[in-house]
Structure 1
Amino acid sequence: MDTQNPSAPPCAQPRIPRGITHINVRHTARYTVIGNHLAQHRELTLTAIGLAAHIQSLPAGARVDIKTLTARFPEGETRIAAALRELEAHGYLSRRRERLPSGRVVTHTVSYNQPARISEPRLGPRKEPVPTPVRPVVQIPPTPPVESRPKPPHPEPRTHDLAHHRTAAALLASLHRDDPRLLLPERDVHRLAPAVTAWLERGTAPEAVRRTLTAGLPREPLRHPTALLAHRLTELLPPPVPVTPVAVRPHPLQNCEGCDRAFRAPEPGRCRDCRSDLPEAA
């Protein structure tokens, strides 16, 4: 009973799968078909492939400019711009600048889920190559340069008021208490302080300046808070306070100590007729 049979087959070992295993569920809504020529492209970076898949999933009319894509994804403007250039170079995107009837220049982007230069692999016997259709090149006249007016200079105070300057610097340095995005470097505080001083010089209360600078800020990240504050300080500068003429009050009435006649003078004394120290008329 204790004799072992050396010819008995060994127990079957469980098979360990290698590589990836796909568990696919059929989509019936909210899906986008992406070609393997894009998903497995050997020359595009992973950022460009993912960006192309995102763009192809968007509805017509969605914005795909660098600013919008940077706000949507953690990649910065440099990587987003480089990925868009890759997709243009391989025929997945085309961008051209167009002028609207209002005169505004916008960028029109066209997405191709199947670039014309890509040919699908064919099975069976080798056939003569079929020439790839070439999209007609539309010559777009160059867009004339848009005339831009020079930026107005920042407001400057008319007088050197040290108290106003200190109040302006303290106001700018504390704006981050209203919005953490308005935490300014020290050099920008010194650069904008004269403009705030000009507001204070024109009779604007510090709290009114603070409300003007912090009200209605955009929700997206502020990449240039100093430029936004400088724009508001320049474009919304209130007019100077009109100068009110100082009324000159006449001297009070005094009783002459000589003739008891009433006359106007800053202090009590004698009238002109009773004063002996006045020069006589020739």
Structure 2
Amino acid sequence: MDTEHLSAPPQAQSRIPGKKHPHARPDSGVVHDNARHTENFTVIGNHLAQHQELSLLAIGLACYIQSVRPGTAVDIKTLAARFPEGPTRIAAALRELETHGYLRRTRERTPTGRIVTRTVSCNKPGHRSAPADPSTRPARRTAPEKPPPRKRLPAVPQPSCTSPALLQAAIDLLAGLRRRDPRLLLSATDAEHLAPGVAAWLERDLTPTAVRHALAENLPLEPLIRPAAFLAHRLAAQLPPLPPIRPPASPAPEPRHPFQNCDGCDRPFRSPAPGRCRDCRSDLPEAA
């Protein structure tokens, strides 16, 4: 006969014969030892925690992002400094969350001209809450990003004559475009780049008023992110042709006067009025 071990715990008995208690210890698998949270906790949906397509890193990042306070920086650089995974893996996990609707990232320009990334965490994909009152919304503390390198402006036509007076007239014309539309405000560097193109238009027998009209009329309704690039495109794409070559005007023929009889020699000669011919006029001083 086997000896009974008094130290071994007795086997739990089911309240209903033939059925196990719902909270009885399972034969295998995980056992939950849960305590009720009353503070400092985050509710995570099982659709995220048990997602069938997201990677484990993406699920973990989503849980972390949903748990932080609004305004916390969650850009790639900050997350790579917070977790042992590198920037490449974190960037891939964030793209997964965007694909499945758990994250929305948009690039916005601040009033100071700086480009920042706005990140919105969605605890339930497809749900969009009503926009919050801007006066009560907390200030974003998104990590600043370096502005992208400034692209070169498109090339502009070049005039055949680059006189300082012509280029100055072109710069003055460009500086006045902002009076027609405030979006056409240009920097001094942009105006210097565009001035040869305007000079090329002025060489084509166009008045400054006509050039201003061609550049500043029928502007697009959307904001002009780079007005200098827009004007450079118009200067090149809408450059009018050279004026037709006009032959030089021939000199006017000498007038043909009527014949007059000379008062001295009675010879006929052409003259607008009666008088003496050239020979007789030359003899007058000698006769005196």
TM-score normalised by length of structure 1: 0.43
TM-score normalised by length of structure 2: 0.43
Larger Rg computed on CA atoms? 2
